[in-house]
Structure formats: structure tokens, C-alpha cells
Amino acid sequence: MRRRGLFGVAAGLLGSLAGCVAGYDGTRGEEEAEPPDPSPGTVRNVELPVPSSEMRQPLAKDSIPAIVDPVFADDWRGLDPDGDLEPSLPDDAAVIGVERDGGSRAYPLRVLDWHEIVNDTFAGPLAVTYCPLCGSGVVVERAVAGDPTVFGVSGRLWRDDLVMYDRATGSLWSQILATAIRGPRTGDRLAVVPSTLTTWGEWRAERPGTAVLLPPPRSDTVRGRDRTYDYFDPKYGYGDETQLIGWDGTEDRLAGRTMVVGVSADGAVTAYPFPVVEGDGVVEDRVGGRPVVVATAPDGTLVAYDRRAEGRTLSFAAADGESLRAGGSRWKRTTGEAVDGPFEGTRLERANERPPMFLKGWLAFYPETEVYGADLDAS
């Protein structure tokens, strides 16, 4: 039997109580008059616009306050002289990392879990989004019809995923699909920006000059709300944050909150579950016409790369916990860069457009997925 890592299984419990419903004040969101939708289209075989009846609205609009004026620093040191925050962001804190134009930033999930959207300007207008219910982090360019705008939390869920709205048009957007599903911009798609789910320690070690998002009140939100950002409240079922990354479970079947990395190419879609990849060590596969290699990284997350380099399709094996070996070179698991041998300095292309997320979230939007090596129970 393969050893089961079940990366992030417990995270769904927190997500169902924090994030998507933490702002619930006892009243449902008011039904708002919606702008007319354009002619219907389709996205991933879903007819647009999505009817309101297919969405749930457990919260009022902006009950979860998006961050609209983010502030960054080298660390969290010295933020809280009263001692309510840890003296620094712990190395095992989960973050979404973004690299653009030679710079890098980290967005801690302990902040995103409460705010779900960060409206940033980083080599252009950027929105960093996270849905705790799906465990999905998606980073997009925050421009609608070519103009920068601000995204907020609509209070609605579609397929248990965050539904965003934009201030410019009031259109509603699916977070995972990065597509407008109701409103004047129905059918428009946002440009997805590559991002990484990892730990603060691993991200900072690879990028020592990185900046990290500071929690409110340093970063301003669409409306004020007091939160505790130093740890996940244990009343939500957490003992420590490492349960988000590399959590050790014992279940024999894949549950809906198992973490997977999804790869799509040429009309084919495959999801690779953490416990299966961890059990195999290194997975070599082909998705459509794309040869891929999937492995675990030192931080306990999943990485997927196109295994073609310099015109060759390479065969990979584990070198050690930090690297893979192929073509006479060692390749860093975390970055896909060759650190020695004939390919030194070459970096593999990432095979996944979105960071790892819960299996239930992935299957809700990619139901045609083949789940690699799975004994599947996605309930």
C-alpha cells in the first residue's frame, strides 16, 4: 500500500468555516438587480450566463472584505508591539508565490483565508485569489475590457467555488475558471498568471529578496474587520498550519479534499493526487501530446513540469528529496532548474497553469479529468 500524504485533507474543514463563510453575519445577502447579460456562450461545456439559481449566496456582498491597498515588507518582524502577532511569519506558513519581471512576492494563506482577494499592482494590475472551500489559488491580471479594475467577494458560490465581482461592470466571475459567468462581460476571460503554492521558508530560501504581504490593518481592505492572522484558530479543527502542506493522513481512498495538481493539453486532462505521487516517488506521464513529470517538493506540495528540454524528451528519476535527475543533470524540484551537468541553467516549463487544489474543486470544473492511479471517492 502506498504511504498516504493527503496534502491538505483537513484544510477543507477550515475553509468551510473560515474564508467563504467567516464573514456571515446571520443574514443572507440581498438579491441585487443584475445588469443584462450578452448573448450566451459556453466555457468548459457550461452554457453562459450561469443562472442565479445555480449559485448559492450564503453571505452578503463584501462580507469577506477583499484587500484593496496591499503593503509589503521583507518579513512580519516588528509588526505588532502588543504581541498579538508572531514576531515573524513562520517558515512553515503556506503562501502563494508570484514572480514577475524579476521580482517576487508571497501572499500568506493565513491572510488570504480571511480576505480571499488581494488587489495588487505588481508589474501591472494583479489579483491574487484564494477559495478555502476548493483550496484553489488563482492569480490573474485584474483588467476587464482592457482597463484595470478592483475585484471583490460577491458572497456567492458556484460549484462551491468563490464568485468574484468587478467594480467596473458588476459582472460575476468564476475564480477557478477566471471567466465572467454573469453580467455585461459574460464569457470574458482573465489572463491567468503563473503562481506557486509553497511555504514561506522554501519561497524565501529560493528568492532571498522576496517581499511578503502584510496583514491588515497595514494592508487596507474594502471595509475594516478585525482578524487574527498569527495562526489558524484551533476551534476550526487545526492544531498547526502544516496540515495545509504535507499533512500525513491514513485514508485508503482519495477524498474530495485530497490535494491534486491538474494538467491539461490537447483536450486531455489529468489530475495527479499527492498520495499517489508521493507513493510512486516520481511520475512520468503524457497528457495529450505533452510529456510530463510530476513529483513532490521539499515543502510537501506537488510540482508538474514538461519534461522536454533543448529539443529532447528526458526521463526523470529521484535524485534526492531536493532534486530530480535526468539527462546527466540534477534538477531542482521546487523550480525545475538544472543545477549541474549538461543542462545546467536550463529551466523546465511548468505543466500546470494553476497551483495544486482540492480534488473536489478540480473535478467540479474539469469533470472529464482522468485521476492518475486513483481509488476515487471525491465526495
- Going from the C-alpha of 179 to that of each of 1, 80, 154, 188, the distances in angstroms are 40, 39, 14, 6
pLDDT value of position 82: 62
pLDDT value of position 222: 86
pLDDT value of position 62: 96
pLDDT value of position 83: 58
Please provide the DSSP assignment of 305-336 as one string: EE-EETTEE---EE-SSSEEEETTEEEETTT-
Q: Which residues partner with 42 through β-bridges?
A: 47
Q: Which SS3 state, helix, strand or coil, does residue 361 take? A: helix
pLDDT value of position 283: 98
Using one digit for the tens of pLDDT, what is the confidence trace for 159-197? 999 999 999 999 999 999 999 999 999 999 999 999 999
pLDDT value of position 229: 75
- Helices (H) and strands (E) counted in the chain, each on its own, are 5, 32
pLDDT value of position 235: 28
pLDDT value of position 258: 86
**pTM (2 d.p.):** 0.84
Residues 6+ apart with CB under 8 A from 1: 252
Q: What is the CATH number of domain 259-371?
A: 2.102.10.10
pLDDT value of position 208: 92
pLDDT value of position 267: 92
Residues constituting the chain? 379
- Report the candidate in 254, 173, 224, 277 with the shortest Cα–Cα distance to residue 66: 224
Domain boundaries, the chain: 19-27+52-221, 259-371
- Report the candidate in 333, 232, 332, 270 with the shortest Cα–Cα distance to residue 10: 232
pLDDT value of position 65: 96
Given a cut of 50, the residues of the chain with pLDDT beneath it are: 1-19, 21-33, 232-252, 378-379
pLDDT value of position 5: 31
